[in-house]
Structure formats: C-alpha cells, structure tokens
Amino acid sequence: MAGLVNTDWKLRENTIKHRTDEYPSKELVVRRGQAFLISLTSRGALPAADKLTFTVETGSTCALQAETRVAFGITSTPSRRSWSAVQTSAGYGSLSVSILSPVDAAIGRYQLSIKTDTSRSTLPSSLGTFVLLFNPWMPERLEIGEHWHDAALPGQREVLSQYLLVIHLSEDDVFMANEAERKEYVLSEFGVIFCNNGKTLLPWNYGQFEDGILDICLSMLDMGLKYHKDSTAGVSQLSDPIHIGRVLSAMINCNDGDRGVLFGCWKACRDGKDPGSWSGSVEILRQWESSGFEPVRYGQCWVFAGVLTTVLRCIGIPTRIISNFSSGCDKNENLILEPSESTWNFHVWNECWFARPDLGCMYNGWQVLDATPQGRSTTEKVECGPASVKAIKEGDVDLPYDTAFVFSEVNADIEGSLDTKSIGQNISTKAVDSNDRLDVTDNYKYKEGSVKEREVFAKACAKLNLKTNHSESARSLREAAKPSVLGKIKVKSPLEIGKDVHLVLRLTNLGSTTEYLTPNMAAWSINNTGKPIHEIWKASILVTLGPKEEKEFPINISYAKYKQYLLIDNLIKVAASWSKKEGGNVNRVIILEKPSVTIKVLGEAKVGKEVKVVVTIDNCFDEELKDGVLKAEGSGLLEKTFKKNVPPLNPQDSYQVQFKFFPRKSGTKYLLVNFSCNKFKDSVTYQDINVVD
C-alpha cells in the first residue's frame, strides 16, 4: 500500500496479554483465538477502513500457504469462526486495528499483508510476520483491554462497548482451566524427572523461552509435517494438537530417516555423548539446528521426553513428564510379557493435555505421547500416541493411538508367572508448584489385584480378540501354589558408587518340615531395559531351614568387583534361586547413588547484575579422582553452558570452581550443575535462585 511507513506490533502490550512475553524474539508471538492490536502509520491519509483488506497465510510450502491464505476486511464485529479485524482508533495517517484469529487456526509463522481496493497494484503490501501458538488460556469470554477502548475515537466507543468488550468464544482444544497448572505445564522452564522407583530426582532445564528455541521448534514442525504428512489432513494438520503431537513424537527420534533430533543408545556410547550427560533440552536443540539438522548422539527415554516437553510447551500445549517403574515393553501387543520381551527398570514418557473430538469428550484431558524408539506404531512409523489416559485405565485398547502398547507398559501380565501385579509401579510426575513426587498410578489403572482391575484386563483382551486363559490360570495357580520357602533381598547399608554393596538374603520356611536348599546367587550390571550386560559376582551356599525358621545370609559385593562394569544407569540386578518351582527365586534391582557437588550462591541475585557461584567437589573415594569436568546451565541465568576442567583430586581432598553470570529474568530460576570424572559420570545437582528486578 503506497505511503505506508510503519507497522507497530505493540509487542509489550500484546505479549503480556497473550502470556508470550518470555519469548526473547523481536517478532510478535501471540496465541490463537485471542485478539491482538497493531497500529499502522502513513505519510498521508489512509484509505477508509472499508477499503482495506488484510491477508494472513502460513506454511513452509506454496501449497500450504495457498491453503491457509485468508483475506478479511475491517468489520464492526469480530467473527468467531474466521479471521477478522475491528478498527479501534483512527486519525490522519494512522489506524489501529484489533485482529482476531479463530480458536482453531493453524499454528506457525504467519505473513500479514494489507491491500486497498483503491490501489493500482493487485498485490498486497507486506506488514511483516508474527507467530501464532496454541492457547491453553483460551477463555470462554474474550475481554478487550480497557486501554484499547480508551484509545478509540468518541464516536467509536459505543461500538467497542457493545461488540468488543465481551465476546463469547469456544475453547481451544488445549484449554486448561487451572491457572496453577497452566503455569506449571506451559510456562515453567524447569522440572524434575523421577528415577530409582521415585526416590531420585533428575533435574531438567526445558528452556522453551531461551533464545532461538521457538524458531527451532517451528523448523522441527515444518520438517515433521513434510516427512510425516497425512495427505487427507489438509490444513487441519497445522491446527490439530492430535496430529501435531503425533508428528513431534516421531521427530524427536530419528528412526524414520526424517532427520529427527536424537539417536537412542542403550549400550556403550563411544561416538557421542552419554545420555546421562545432558541436563536440559537447549544444548541438544541448538546442536541439532547448528549441525544442519543432523541427529544428536545420544539419548534415552528421559532425554527424549525432556526434549519433547520443551517443544510442546514452546508451541503452547500443556505437557508434563511421567515416570513408570517396572515398565513393560510388549511389542506384539498381546498384553502378556513373554521371555523375549523386556521389563524396563523405569521408562519415561510425556502426557499432553488436549481434547479428543475423534474419540468423544470422556477421553479429553491427559494424552500419552512417547518419543522413545521402542517399535513401530500402527502407522509403521516410530511414534507413539496420543493415547488417552482415560482409555488406558478403562481398557479401551482398540482406540487410537497405540493405546494397547501403553496399556501393556502399565498393566501387562507376565507369561509363566503368578505375578499379575508387578508391571506399572509408582507412576510418577512432578507436583504443581513443588518438586515433590505426585503419584498418578490411579490415573492409569484400578488398584492392582482388585476385581475391577482384573475386569478391565479381561475387557482389554476382549477388545483385541485375545484369550484370557493366562490371567485365569495365573489366578488359580496363585490360589493353589503356595511356596514353602519365601525369599527377600534387603539392603543393609547405603548404596553409593565407590562403596562396597552390602545386602542380605532372607529365607523363611513357611512349612512344618525341614527344608534343605542350595541357593545360587549372582549379580549383573544391567541397562535400563533390564538386559544383563556383565556378570560381576556369584556364589552358592548350603542352607538348612527348620520348620517356620527364618535365616539371613550376607551378600557382599566389593567396589573392585563392580566398578569396571557399571553402565550409565548404575544398575545392578541381584538374584537368588533355590527351586525351579514358582516362588523358588527372588531378585532385586539396586541403583548406586552418585556423589553430589555443593552449590553456593554468593549474595543476592538481581537482573543484569553479576552473580558469583562457588561449586565444591569432594573426593570421597580412596583413590585419585581424575578427568573431572564440570558443566552448568540455567534458563534465564546463563546464555550458554559453562564448562570447566577440574584438576586431579587426591583421596578426601576438595576443589572449588567459581564462575559468574548475569541473570536476564526475574523470578525463581534454577542453576543445574553436572560433574563427571573417572569414577562416575553425570552427577547432576540443582539450586533454585530467586532473581529480583
């Protein structure tokens, strides 16, 4: 449009109202279904409002741009179903307009253009670009800010009062009613992931508002839609959280040749970084982008889930991380774990919050997405979900997507075993507003062993046309076969790397006759999938147990025995077997804790002011500690990862690393410190820091 001088995107006003002010971009970022204001200025008089036409379009291809292109004029009332604009003020050479996107608009980067029907040119003039995201705040009422009302010309205020101050709109599919949950699951850049049966916290820096992350997420979405396009989806693929969640769960791994973000590794990872060395998503995503979108080496389940959380929160979908202990991996989806299938010590996936219009409103709410490459989905791609958590609990395993697989992760039975209860224990997530563990097992299944839980299991089998003989025979065997000797492995001293492991095998004779046993005992290092890697210890003993007698036998595994065989998960499986009969064996997986470092913040933390931190490393080993490397990161605190090599430390010596940073944002921020050496890898500690303006 000839004579147009400037477009004022009202960045501060719009981003505060849209809760997008944390994005560092100079480009406007707004949420769909919510109005935003722009002001246009010209060297001369602007055409009348009814002579102006705006155009928006998005998409990485000409076809998508054409499909998403919408032209709309200035009207007296905004539309609920399409893009619309309402004039809020006008003067000589100036015009302010409130633009409203539909609540189901495609998300992404939009081009905004303007054209007048008095112009000789047939082409619209570009006003610039803006980014549109999902809107979990999408209210039932849309309120136009009072400052916009006051800026209107006197003759227009009645129109604004009548039509703009309160507009009733439908909800975004990702709408979440609770404000505390919205802050936690969309705006929080820090979280903890639960390991070791829920007793150990792994801190994670999501960093969705760090510089460049939004652009990387939009690039990932464009790439994913190209590689995983549903030809029948049309423009809806850009607006539907179901489809977008599915695409992104595939893009976080690289198993489909789609140039996804991460390679997985569950063994010695010699040509890349150990999965445990990551403390957050920012470094991974930046490395992926800077390499020309070459997959980053390496990740395991918590890394895949951490990165997916960052991407989904970044584009506005409420997301949290779930840890499932004793997690089944039922690849043939018959709800039974056979000997060839594994039980993971723990597995981590994502839950995302959105509606399921494809299934019905009872299945709205939390949906499982899993980016870890465990197998191919029903689409033959390496992706998983979204599977409704409600559908999983109710045994509706025939519903899309991958519901039967997730059902087995939390509630499969074990072939040839009386045990129908061990799969899916202590299912956990971070609580809102704290780093405490929230147990969500009841969201996934009814109480183990209850009549209702067994009814749901039978229902799930029927949905998949599977026989339920296993479950029935297991129950009858459990009632008939009571083992004469019970065993249990107990921990006698703290489980720490560098220390000997002290356990006891407790055997109890339940019968009225003497039992003569020869328990064979062994210990292996295992990976997170439960696969034995190295045998590190074994022994046999002769045991005589009188009627009703109980005895304990020590199991001692020296540090020298296990130190060279530990993997990144620090897992050891200890087992004892004294009979081939059911119940004639016992096993336990133990996790050795890593020594931690101490973080001390010196003085008050203020935005833009220098903050000094001292990290203390203690060598608690009886041997020299070498090859030490310390790394630190934190959203809003450090622009990039701090790294420092640590000199060798003699036994019982200490070393201090001091560094500084300049906080960029106020509020509670988290500093994450990762320390590795020749004795252990990736001990991660965090410190919360209150940053004031």
| Total Cβ atoms within 10 A of residue 127 | 19
Strands annotated E in 541-580: 543-545, 550-557, 571-577
Q: Which uninterrupted H or E stretch holds 418? A: none
CA distances 631 to 96, 359, 615, 652, 654, Å, are 49, 46, 10, 22, 17
Residue of 173, 370, 396, 413 marked catalytic: 370
* Of the candidates 342, 325, 350, 517, the residue with the CA atom closest to the CA atom of residue 422: 325
What is the distance between the alpha carbons of residues 610 and 48, in angstroms, rounded to a whole number?
A: 53
As to burial, measured by CB atoms within 10 angstroms (0-12 exposed, 13-18 middle, 19+ buried), residue 12 is: exposed
Whether 361 is catalytic: no
Whether 195 is catalytic: no
Whether 347 is catalytic: yes
Give the pairing of strands 437-439 and 425-430: antiparallel
* Of the candidates 98, 64, 65, 103, the residue with the CA atom closest to the CA atom of residue 82: 103
**3-state DSSP assignment of residue 121:** coil
Q: Which uninterrupted H or E stretch holds 588? A: strand 585-591
Structure tokens at 550: 């109980």
Strands annotated E in 182-311: 190-195, 200-205, 262-264, 296-299
Residue of 265, 301, 329, 461 marked catalytic: 301
Taking CB atoms within 8 Å and a gap of at least 24, the contacts of 78-87 are 78/35, 78/163, 78/164, 78/167, 80/167, 80/168, 80/169, 80/170, 83/54, 83/56, 85/54, 86/160, 86/163, 86/164, 87/49, 87/156
DSSP 435-500: S-EEE-HHHH-SPTTSHHHHHHHHHHHHHTT---HHHHHHHHHHHH---SEEEEEEE-S--BTTS-
Q: Is the peptide bond before 124 cis (omega within 30 degrees of 0)?
A: no
Q: Are 305 and 384 in contact (CB under 8 A)?
A: no
What is the distance between the alpha carbons of residues 49 and 159, in angstroms, rounded to a whole number?
A: 15
The structure tokens 């988290």 sit at: 670
Residue of 347, 384, 461, 569 marked catalytic: 347
- Catalytic residues, by residue number, are 301, 347, 370
